[in-house]
Amino acid sequence: MIPRLVIAGTHSGCGKTTVASGIMSALTARGLIVQPFKVGPDFIDPSHHTLICHRACRNLDPFMMGEDGVLDTFLKSCEGADISIIEGVMGMYDGVDGSDCASTAHVARLLHAPIVLVVDVAGMSRSVHALIGGYREFDPSLGIAGIIFNKVGSRRHRQMIESSLVAEAFGWIPRRDDIALKSRHLGLVMAHESIALAEAGAVIEEHCDVAKLVAAARAAPPLCPLNKPSFVKRSAPLVTLGVAMDAAFCFYYQDNLDRLRAYGADIIFFSPLEDSIPAVDGLYLGGGYPELHLAGLEAAESTKTLGLLVDEGLPVYAECGGLMYLLQAITADRTYRMCNILPAEAEMTKKIQALGYVKGKSRSNTSFIPVPIMITGHEFHYSHIVAERDARYAFRLSRGKGIDNGQDGLWINHALGSYTHQYFTNRFAEAFVKAALRYKNR
């Protein structure tokens, strides 16, 4: 049995990230091994959870992973853990296109996990119980074990709410602006930029009943494992892949890295801002915040030399910020020269250019990607890319915007850059490693 809790919210901004992180911190401080999870495609909250728990946070997303993928990732990741805490996404019932799919409720149902509902009570007293009643009755099959009341204004405010409770209270958290994270255009700041959420554990200890939280988690029923594992890890590496990891490039799904390793990749991390390109058989450039480091990237040695390696046939897969890095230039306050590998330029804008889930498949004649191969993922960016007229695209999307009206995956030689943050399938990971092996044996 795996003790587990889903921390759900009534809506975005109700405080569930702070509460979930605080619970993880409090449990870790008590000596428990906590395995963190995040519902949905987010990269930022998991960076905080990983820092707090000292274990890699995993995303749980039925749209990208499938329902079996959610259960498989959960079961494998919980090995050796005492308890798992799963932070939800948006409001508890908010899924794809207004459906249940990929909602917090969907994941809680798949994992048979008790739910703790975080409710922002600012501006309400007795009315909050009507809200809670609606959440409990909307899907009675889900078990809301208790409520954490957030942003309680005063002792009197608590008393007015407490006099009419309709569900068990697990905590009463006063308004605390000092543990709220600052935001930027892609969301909250990353874990290496703030320790505010790690300090939320003391707030949970003071204002929540941690024993009740643990008891609720331990009341979760056993889970049946899948009959067939998603992949079997190779005993020895076949190739070495370099993965960009620094302040500019830091968005990765842990499952993607695990799948690459499973198919034979030894992964080494490097900083395009600070390091030269390492001696590797392939490169993976994730998303992040290259627009905040344009001058440094323009001057970096990696920027000047990567094109030569691509000319030699080095396979490179890049996503969102990584895609922008492979372009000719990025314009923000001025135009900065980038790697000049893919035939396009990017411009930063003040409005979201694309946000949401992506689904598509590979096209014929597509770099190192086999045809057809299905992809799923997520896109979220403020940049706009203008490609040259003869640019070639690897993916045709049935859902999502991509680079140009449903086309995504600019490529040249074995360098491929996509706006989509892809959740790797086994076939994609295997194809990437095979491309690196061909380069190694050239």
Q: Annotated active-site positions, please?
A: 320
| Structure tokens belonging to residue 24 | 């993880």
In one letter, which amino acid is 235? S
C-alpha–C-alpha distance, residues 132 and 114, integer Å: 15
| Structure tokens belonging to residue 140 | 């009675």
Helices (H), 267-374: 294-299, 301-311, 321-326
Q: What is the largest CA-CA distance in the chain?
A: 74
Residue that the structure tokens 């627009």 belong to: 291
Q: Are 63 and 96 in contact (CB under 8 A)?
A: yes
**φ, ψ of residue 120 in degrees (nearest 5):** -80, 115
C-alpha–C-alpha distance, residues 121 and 173, integer Å: 10
Q: Are 429 and 259 in contact (CB under 8 A)?
A: yes
Residue that the structure tokens 């798992």 belong to: 84
C-alpha–C-alpha distance, residues 408 and 397, integer Å: 7
Q: Which residues contact 87 (CB under 8 A, 6 or more apart)?
A: 7, 16, 17, 20, 21, 36, 37, 38, 39, 45, 49
For 90-156, the DSSP string reads SSTT--GGGSSTTSHHHHHHHHT--EEEEEE-TT-STTHHHHHHHHHHH-TTS-EEEEEEEEE--HH
User: CA of 170: how far to CAs of 94, 112, 114, 219, in Å?
Assistant: 23, 20, 13, 15
**Alpha carbon 13 to chain centroid, angstroms:** 18
C-alpha–C-alpha distance, residues 151 and 156, integer Å: 13
C-alpha–C-alpha distance, residues 175 and 333, integer Å: 38
In one letter, which amino acid is 184? R
CA angle, residues 304, 309, 312, in degrees to nearest 5:
145
Q: Which residues contact 189 (CB under 8 A, 6 or more apart)?
A: 44, 181, 182, 183
